[in-house]
Structure 1
Amino acid sequence: MKKVALVLALSAAAMTAQAEESKTITASFPSNSLAELEVDIAVGKIDLQTYNGDTIEVEILVEPKESDSWFGKPDVSEATLNSNTSGDKLSLEINSDDYELSWQVKVPVNLALDVEVGVGKIDIQDLNNSADLEVGVGKIKIETTTTDFKKVSLDSGVGKTAMSGFGNVETSEKSMVGSTTDYRGQGQYSIDAEVGVGNIRLRRD
């Protein structure tokens, strides 16, 4: 009987541990009084999709970051999304580098973007505004249907930069390991993207 009880207890513990392997956070923010969205991510990826709406829709999959710590994996149940509005800018962040985060964000097309990722990637679809993007180690991919931009600056310390669908693009290699791409046009918006180690690509559909 004791053996059966022990097996049941272990099974319950295993199921509890498995249930806490991940956590999904969802949130929605009105954007009527906003001009910019700022997101700060320590480790993970973010997929941003612009649309003709008036709310910012956020879904985040939180998973424990791989660790060799004696204390085991961090408890994802403690992860919380912090939001702060300053003037016309909304800032979003999960204040811990113990998690690996997968962000899915639907953002109104009229908002500028300011996104920083320590390790991971940024993927933006249908960009039609200004964007300031930075990744320490990883990559940035941007797709746009905008006819033109005022200014584009892509900079990779170790990696490649490229943009297609625009004229008068200047790409140069630096230090044999890095790359920069610069563009000046007649558009309204600007893109400034920087990666320490990794690639950057901008494409107009």
Structure 2
Amino acid sequence: MNTASITTLASVLLTCSAFAQAEHKIEHTFDISGQQKLTIDVPVGSLELSTNKSNQVTVSIELKAKNNSFFSDDVALEEITLKHQQSSDKLSLSIAEDDVQQTWLVSMPEAMAIDLALGVGDIEVNKFANSAAIDVGVGTVRISSALADYQSITLDSGVGDTKISGMKNDAKHSRKMVSSTSNYRGDGQYSINVEVGVGDIKVRH
């Protein structure tokens, strides 16, 4: 093999190695019993949650290096692990690394409440039918509810829009300068509270 071929092969192997280190996937399944609440804390990324009829929480997390340069001191993604703590009333999940992009896909039991915290990014919750507390620094929150009524829904955006639609009763909406607040009161069992520093919030049935 001549020098040019060796150089080309080495370049390809280096490139493949760099790509391999630029992404990492974590998958986990947790058995749920009783009325446990799901809490997730993510510094930067996105969360997409859906419900299922089982007694399990399944989690798939894709990690990507923020800096795509092959010559930078990237984080060793394969060494990052999902931190989890489970008790009789709570399942807590988190990956504290704030220098990687995290994409979460979560499927959880229908009867599970959620408490989510996201520094920067987007949250989407589908077919939801329980209580939720969500706090986002910068990003958007969209909740598609399987229920048409709640005891209360409170949405508060420091800079952005808020909207509640499709519920049994009419929602109240107020806007002041760049901030927005939406409130709903009904006869339902559950409550939703969402706060976003900068970004939009939408809850619809």
TM-score (norm 1): 0.93
Count of residue correspondences:
202
**1:168-199: CA deviations, max 9, x gaps?**
3111002x101000111100000000100000
- For each residue in 1:54-93, what CA deviation from the matched residue of structure 2 results, as whole angstroms up to 9, or x when unmatched? 000111111012489x844322212211111234101001
Q: 1:130 and 2:159 equivalent?
A: no
- Corresponding residue for residue 172 of structure 2: 170
- Calculate percent identity across the aligned residue pairs: 37
Corresponding residue number in structure 2 for 1:55: 56
- 2:78 is paired with a residue whose SS is helix
Quick check: 1:23–1:61 contact (8 Å CA) kept in 2?
A: yes
Counterpart-to-counterpart distance in 2, 1:83 and 1:34: 17
SS of residue matched to 2:91: strand
Matched residue type, 1:76: L
Alpha-carbon distance in structure 1 between the residues aligned to 2:79 and 2:34:
30
Q: Matched residues in 2 for 1:44 and 1:96: separation?
A: 11
Distance in 1 (alpha carbons) for counterparts of 2:122 and 2:80: 20
2:146 aligned partner: 145
Tell which deviates more after alignment, 27-36 or 107-116: 27-36
Q: Distance in 2 between matches of 1:123 and 1:195?
A: 14
Matched to 1:169, the amino acid is A
Tell me if the contact between 2:148 and 2:166 (Cα under 8 Å) persists in the aligned partners.
no
Structure 1: give runs of 5+ residues left out of the alignment: none
Counterpart of 2:115 in structure 1 is: 114
How far apart are 1:149 and its partner, in Å?
Answer: 0.2
The 2-side partners of 1:7 and 1:91 are apart by 47
Secondary structure of the residue that 2:148 maps to in structure 1? Answer: coil
Deviation, structure 1 residue 121: 0.7
* 1:38-49 matches, cutoff 5 A: 38-49=39-50
Q: Establish whether residue 30 from structure 1 lines up as the match of residue 31 from structure 2.
A: yes
Letter in 1 for 2:149: D
CA distance in 1 between counterparts of 2:116 and 2:64 reads 20
Structure 2: stretches of 5+ with no match in the other structure: none
Q: Which amino acid aligns with 1:200?
A: I
Deviations 1:131-165 (A, max 9, x none): 00111000000001213100110000000000101
1:187 maps to what in 2? 188
Q: Secondary structure at the match of 1:37?
A: strand
Indicate conservation of the 8 Å contact 1:41/1:94, yes or no: yes
Contact 1:34 1:90 in 2 (8 A): no
* Corresponding position of 2:7: 6
TM-aligned CA deviation for residue 34 of structure 1: 4.6
What is the identity, as a one-letter code, of the residue corresponding to 1:100? Answer: Q
TM-score (structure 2 length as normaliser): 0.93
Is the partner of 1:95 in helix, strand or coil? coil
- What is the alpha-carbon root mean square deviation over aligned residues? 1.6
When structure 1 is superposed on structure 2, of 78-87 and 92-101 the one drifting more is 78-87
Query: Alignment partner of 1:20: what SS?
Result: helix
Tell me the equivalent position of 1:159: 160
